[in-house]
A = this chain, B = another copy of it.
Amino acid sequence: MSLWQALFSPRAIALIGASGDAAKNSARPLRLLRKHGYSGRIVPINASRGEVLGERAYASLTDAPGEIDHAFVMTPSESVERALEDCGARGIPVVTVLSDGFADAGAQGAARQERLAASARSLGVRLLGPNSMGLVDIPGRVVLSANAVLEMDALLAGTTSVVSQSGTMLGTVLSRGAARGLGFSKLVSVGNEADIGVAELVELLAEDSATQVILLFLETVRDSTRLARAARKSHAAGKPVVAYKLGRSRLGEAMARSHTGALAGADAAVDAYFRDCGILRVDWLETLFEIPPLLAGRAPPDLARAPRVAVVTTTGGGAASVVDRMGVLGIETLAPVEPLRARLAALGARSLDSPIIDLTMAATDKQYAAVLDVLLDTPACDAVLAVVGSSALFHPQLAVEPILRSKRGAKPLAVFLTPHAERSLALLAERDIAAFRTPESCADALASFFAWRAPRTLPERMEDASPPVWPGELPRRGKLDEAQALALFSALGVPSVESAVARAPRYEHGIAYPVAAKILSPDIEHKTEAGAVALGIAGSSEYDARVRTLLSSVAESRPEARIEGILVQRMEFGLAEAIVGYRHDPVVGPLVLVGAGGRLAELYQDYALRLAPVSEEEAAAMIETVKGLATLRGYRGLPRGDIPALARTLAALSRLALVTGQPVAEAEINPLIVKREGVVAVDGLVVMKE
């Protein structure tokens, strides 16, 4: 029996801890299985009753007859392990555990969960949960859950499947979807993911002929490598994966050691990761289940310019509420220019000076249909937004039906209805037309669609690239001092400032003036703030004086710091400063970052982040998105900086991900001086993994 069958098509299900008291949560799974037409055998296990809600019950699994494919455990947390052992003894292949009190409940619970997982492994039992709300297969009529929303009378079948780290969300998407005619295929609550996790379920759903789009509700990512593989598999199968992930607000909550660490907070890393493996991320909860018809059967758009959307409406204000939000998200609204303008004018469309084609409440169904078909047909736009005003509630024939009958092709069509018009939403859902309840989720969906990229084919890239060799003289543990860090950057091919280490007692050096002098110490990371840097030293007598000042000020501010000497560097001048960073994120792995130098990247959270390594082309695309680097792009007539050299540097640093064993925890060039021609690294930080 495959995992698939035991999960979604079990011939018999044991309900361990099923209550006979209909008011209790543990009575619900039996009732729901029956209510929604489960055709297999139900085996309630209840120590004190011979009958549960009309079903023959057994005191223990041992007493229960016949083969059982799936057990659902609802007993108190202390007795779950025992129940699992019973399941193992009976050869039940899959056990779903509703009970909480495991990793969700402190250290003691976490230990209990580890024992449970180990026990499952040794028994050969696959485990969903603990703390799982169960699973639902609507077309297959398997509703194995304690979620109270499932008491709704009819569950609407569809081709969208859901994997959720929150059990509540099963009911949330089901009920909200049902109210507007959106159906689902499979819904699974993974709970604490002690065994079967999000990634494995995505793998299964990628192979499921009844699933077209996979939705994820995530609080965290527990197995990023496997999920990335699963997402690639799903993409290859033509099934988009969409995620709503919590954690937007935790960005940058704690200052890490380096700027890179502080910047590339957990959420930004997850963004880079999703992008890398082709997972769309939506920002609004309702977008998650409204977006599937916009994606089903489509490939990532991969536009090289800002997306353009054409808009037809019967209400200017209603359409503007979406268009305004789209504008904030960087989506342009198509201004009807010739020859499109003439075609629209011939159909009686007025006010064509506005990008919103407002047919007003005076529109006829024929006119709406004709304009919509012209927009779906024109090569001038990348998607069409159809908005319908008050008529959508009681007069769908006016504009909703023309949308239903429209000549749809490859171009995405999004619909927003201004009134509360559930019947019209259901008509649209029935025809697989993406319709949105709010202007915000409509704009969010279009923005997510246009940001969607095919997964990067990482494994091939890694083969092509010859891995950089770790310079023999550099340590592979601890921190590198600044001179060592610059040596590493040079070895990677990054031009570094001409520099020398001047030693006590005389601190002599051979660098031509003007120079900068910095205390060389593995214990001082932010040198400027520590008063450990002197810039623009014009000659040797000034050098002597300022080195003395540096030493005495550091002796006072950081008496514990080990001083290895003075790092003397040629003063470098350029057009702008950049920060280029590398970090091994504990969740998603190696990342590379570029931002504007100084404090800009940090103050404004203005940087681009991708999974490492990146090609020079990808690096150039990253640089393009950093606002603060506009000063290198000819902004306001300023001279242009050497962006290709910056991109080469970014690609070079990102290749730390290819060093055998990935020994680097963090590396940062800050600042990298960008000149009209060339770049030069003048300061850096490298921290090895513990």
Contact = CB atoms under 8 A, between A and B. Distances in A.
A390 B637 contact: no
A391 interface: yes
Interface in A599-615: 599-600, 603-604, 606
25 contacts: A100-B362, A148-B391, A148-B393, A148-B395, A149-B394, A151-B393, A166-B318, A167-B315, A167-B317, A167-B361, A168-B318, A169-B317, A171-B393, A172-B419, A175-B393, A175-B419, A178-B420, A179-B420, A247-B324, A248-B325, A249-B327, A286-B438, A529-B637, A599-B630, A604-B627
Nearest to A602: B636
Interface in A401-448: 418-421, 438-440
The 5 closest A-B pairs by CB, nearest first: A166-B317, A249-B327, A168-B315, A171-B390, A175-B420
Nearest to A440: B284
- Of the listed residues A362, A390, A438, the one surrounded by the most CB atoms of chain B closer than 10 A to its CB is A390
Given A249-B327, A603-B630, A389 B284 contact: no
A146 B315 CA distance: 13
Given A146-B361, A604-B604, A631-B599, A390 B325 contact: no
Nearest to A398: B148
- Of the listed residues A146, A217, A360, A420, the one surrounded by the most CB atoms of chain B closer than 10 A to its CB is A420
Contacts of A360: 100
A587 interface: no
A315 B285 contact: no
How many copies of the shown chain assemble into the complex? 2
A147 interface: yes
A526 interface: yes
Interface string A134-171: 00000000000011110110000000000011111101
B149 A285 contact: no
Contacts of A439: 285
A394 B628 contact: no
A321 interface: yes
Interface of A: 25, 100, 104-106, 146-149, 151-152, 164-169, 171-172, 175-176, 178-179, 217, 219, 246-250, 284-286, 314-318, 320-321, 323-328, 350-351, 353, 360-362, 389-391, 393-395, 418-421, 438-440, 526, 529, 599-600, 603-604, 606, 627-628, 630-631, 635-638
B248 A324 contact: yes
Given A166-B315, A606-B604, A246 B324 contact: yes
A149 B219 CA distance: 40
Contacts of A606: 604
Nearest to A317: B166
B529 A638 contact: yes
Contacts of A526: 636
Nearest to A530: B637
- Of the listed residues A169, A247, A529, the one surrounded by the most CB atoms of chain B closer than 10 A to its CB is A169
A25 B362 contact: yes
A524 to B, nearest CB: 13
B171 A328 contact: no
A224 B249 CA distance: 36
Contacts of A604: 604, 606, 627-628
Nearest to A361: B25
A100 B315 CA distance: 13
A109 to B, nearest CB: 10
A391 B147 CA distance: 8
Contacts of A317: 164-169, 217, 219, 246
A389 B171 contact: yes
A61 to B, nearest CB: 24
A606 B361 CA distance: 41
Contact of A603 (B105, B246, B627): B627
A316 B217 CA distance: 13
Contacts of A328: 248-249
A148 B318 CA distance: 15
A599 B635 contact: yes
A540 to B, nearest CB: 21
- Of the listed residues A179, A249, A353, A526, the one surrounded by the most CB atoms of chain B closer than 10 A to its CB is A249
Contacts of A323: 249
- Of the listed residues A25, A219, A324, A350, the one surrounded by the most CB atoms of chain B closer than 10 A to its CB is A324
Given A148-B390, A171-B389, A171-B418, A320 B627 contact: no
A147 B318 CA distance: 14
A475 B665 CA distance: 63
Given A327-B248, A393-B171, A320 B219 contact: yes
A642 B146 CA distance: 62
Contacts of A320: 166, 219, 246
Nearest to A395: B148
Contact of A321 (B151, B285, B438, B635): B285
A572 to B, nearest CB: 18
A25 B327 CA distance: 33
A155 to B, nearest CB: 13
- Of the listed residues A315, A326, A353, A635, the one surrounded by the most CB atoms of chain B closer than 10 A to its CB is A315
Given A148-B389, A175-B420, 7 more contacts: A175-B421, A219-B316, A246-B321, A285-B438, A529-B638, A604-B627, A604-B628
A164 B317 CA distance: 10
A576 to B, nearest CB: 10
- Of the listed residues A164, A395, A600, A603, the one surrounded by the most CB atoms of chain B closer than 10 A to its CB is A603
A589 to B, nearest CB: 24
A76 B34 CA distance: 62
Contacts of A217: 317
Contacts of A147: 390
A419 B176 contact: yes
A50 B338 CA distance: 48
Nearest to A328: B249
A151 B169 CA distance: 35
A511 to B, nearest CB: 23
A151 B391 CA distance: 10
Contacts of A219: 316-317, 320
A289 B608 CA distance: 38
Given A100-B360, A105-B351, A148-B394, A171 B419 contact: yes
Contacts of A318: 166, 168-169, 172
A142 to B, nearest CB: 18
A388 to B, nearest CB: 10
